[in-house]
Structure 1
């Protein structure tokens, strides 16, 4: 009997536990009405895009409503002028991770969307936009949409992260794996010191198959598989490609002079040897004797087809090079002031020959002096 009572008690306890674990299953309320009126920007608003600045456009709308006041997420959808939003070119969550009834979008991002919608650079075109409200799996677009007229500047909506130059006119030839990598000066702006010879070249964002390709036409950078032709003898150049404005610059670098301040003249000439390197294999160095001691200061002069350019130290005044970090030898544009932004030879270079290399490569613009 005791066993029966005990078993009955256990069964009763299990029934109570099971009953307490049962949860009331309430149907999930996904009822949702679309957003109300679209507030800003006005229909057919005209925006002149400046993707290089900090300008933005504010989109605002009236909130959607729900039966239970639950959380609603919002996305702004963009489509081509004749699109129906079935396959929008872009959808972006509203501010606050999608919960606010507004979206702040930069000119840079709008420029990308305009590009995706087929609006070319340096032209004006229209986008449609609307707001999609969603609660769970229930998504409803607004009943209305508006048009935005965008004026795109020259330049690319998406700047390459890396840039290479390749082709028969280049130092790496047609082997894409040996393409010459450019130095990234700032976002969308690339530069290289390299040689070009008769042949052709193109730019690419990868030194392997599958990269985007670019070519130059009348000084303008364009995307495509065409090439740019080069004629004449091999020469060293500084090439600059600015994707923010789709423009390019080139200048021939004829040589680099080793300028010694105390003499006020160049004491050696560095010629281009390839891979962004200019070299003077043997230069006689003798420090200048002043009453207070011997002067060892120097910097560099670039002889270009457009004139002279001075390159020197970031420091107005320098100490001896021994024990200094690699940045001591970095090269930056400087003035032609006789004594400013100079380096100092190591004391062991006095009355000796030195080998001087200027390396203008993606890793750093720097130089090295080796006492022979």
Structure 2
């Protein structure tokens, strides 16, 4: 009997809970007012895109829509080709603040992508339409106002490669794609490589797989396609630098020699020969510290003689200490000026009046560095 009373009481409580829930229920109001005016950029605004500048951007603003129940509205800015009706926008981006603010800042890099999706080629100008889509729950409302912007694309790729490789019979890795030589990425869209090329052909790719995008150069321009570049003559080391942001060959120079430059003498005391994989090695080089009134000077750096001029590689520290007990980063190589004394390294004190062997490694897969071995 006692159990029946407990069951009855629990049943009554459940019924009260259901009734209470029903009393508190109300329909979800998904209605929103039309989006207000688009305010920025002005209609027909002309924007000259500079995607290589990471800070370059354009702000888009509009007047907020109003929900009937005061709830949260989310916004997207939509882009379409000139004359498009936004039934299938080519690009959409959520507004600032996770979609709640009536504005969004879009980088020139992304605007370049949008321009490409709307059929505007590099080194060309064209028009793009934009509007705002407001949504609350399942209700989505496209803005009644549509504006046009005029985008001017520079030479360059809307989608620059994330990685870059050199492959082909003229390369150190040969025709085998899995052995393609990787470039060092300096910044978004900018790559450099120290490698050797021999008679044959090569091309550029962003993947070591058949699905990669392929590129080739034509004069000072980079183009996308399956063409190859032909190399003739004997094998030689080269320095190569590309900027895909502007589709340009920044430098393509033969590395004619690499010298060990000793500051006090103002001259190179030995030469290194290219081996492979961006590496140069020396034979035996005698080292004699220079005698000044205050002591003996042991400072040095490296000079790369190229067909475009001399490049100096040295320390990131303007004034350096002895290498004894220093971490591996002490020996890292950085582009430095031609200054006779600054940004140099110091030989191990035991190298004075002895001989050394030097190795310079400019491999794209590791930090640029060097090694000195006292003989």
TM norm. shorter chain > 0.5: yes
In the superposition, relative to structure 1, how do residues 133 and 317 fare at CA in structure 2: closer, same or farther (>3 Å)? closer
Compute the displacement of 1:90 (Å): 0.8
Three-state SS of the structure 1 residue aligned to 2:42 is coil
Contact 1:132 1:142 in 2 (8 A): yes
Alignment partner of 1:15 out of 6, 12, 15: 12
Contact 2:58 2:105 in 1 (8 A): yes
Structure 1 range deviating more: 352-361 or 338-347: 338-347
Counterpart residue number, 2:174: 173
Matched, 1:264 2:255: no
Compute the displacement of 1:239 (Å): 0.2
Q: Deviations over 1:87-139 (max 9, x none)?
A: 21111112222122222222222112112222112110111111111111111
In the superposition, relative to structure 1, how do residues 138 and 265 fare at CA in structure 2: closer, same or farther (>3 Å)? same
1:311-330 → structure 2 map (5 Å cutoff): 311-330=313-332
Three-state SS of the structure 1 residue aligned to 2:283 is strand
In the superposition, relative to structure 1, how do residues 72 and 264 fare at CA in structure 2: closer, same or farther (>3 Å)? closer
Paired residue total: 369
Alignment partner of 2:371 out of 359, 368, 372: 368
Counterpart residue number, 2:150: 149
Counterpart residue number, 1:339: 341
Contact 2:33 2:68 in 1 (8 A): no
Counterpart residue number, 1:241: 242
Contact 1:154 1:246 in 2 (8 A): yes
Q: Which runs of 5+ in 2 are unaligned?
A: none
Compute the displacement of 1:7 (Å): 3.6
Counterpart residue number, 2:228: 227
Compute the displacement of 1:145 (Å): 1.6
Compute the displacement of 1:34 (Å): 3.1
Contact 1:34 1:132 in 2 (8 A): no
TM-score by length of 1: 0.91
Quote the Cα distance in structure 1 between the aligned partners of 2:290 and 2:5: 111
1:1-372 → structure 2 map (5 Å cutoff): 3=1, 7=4, 10-22=7-19, 23-24=21-22, 25-51=25-51, 52-248=53-249, 249-362=251-364, 363-372=366-375
Three-state SS of the structure 2 residue aligned to 1:262 is helix
Quote the Cα distance in structure 2 between the aligned partners of 1:159 and 1:64: 37
Quote the Cα distance in structure 1 between the aligned partners of 2:103 and 2:295: 70
Quote the Cα distance in structure 1 between the aligned partners of 2:70 and 2:56: 35
Contact 1:236 1:252 in 2 (8 A): yes
In the superposition, relative to structure 1, how do residues 340 and 27 fare at CA in structure 2: closer, same or farther (>3 Å)? closer
Compute the displacement of 1:12 (Å): 4.9
Contact 1:195 1:237 in 2 (8 A): yes
Q: Deviations over 1:309-346 (max 9, x none)?
A: 32222223322211111121122233333333222222
Structure 1 range deviating more: 22-31 or 170-179: 22-31
Q: Deviations over 1:150-197 (max 9, x none)?
A: 111222223322211111111111111111111112222111111112
Structure 1 range deviating more: 274-283 or 15-24: 15-24
Quote the Cα distance in structure 2 between the aligned partners of 1:182 and 1:168: 17
Aligned-residue CA RMSD in angstroms? 2.2
Three-state SS of the structure 1 residue aligned to 2:163 is coil
Quote the Cα distance in structure 1 between the aligned partners of 2:62 and 2:87: 21
Q: Which runs of 5+ in 1 are unaligned?
A: none
Contact 2:122 2:154 in 1 (8 A): yes
Quote the Cα distance in structure 1 between the aligned partners of 2:79 and 2:157: 19
Q: Deviations over 1:236-289 (max 9, x none)?
A: 111001112211111111111112233332221111111101111222223334
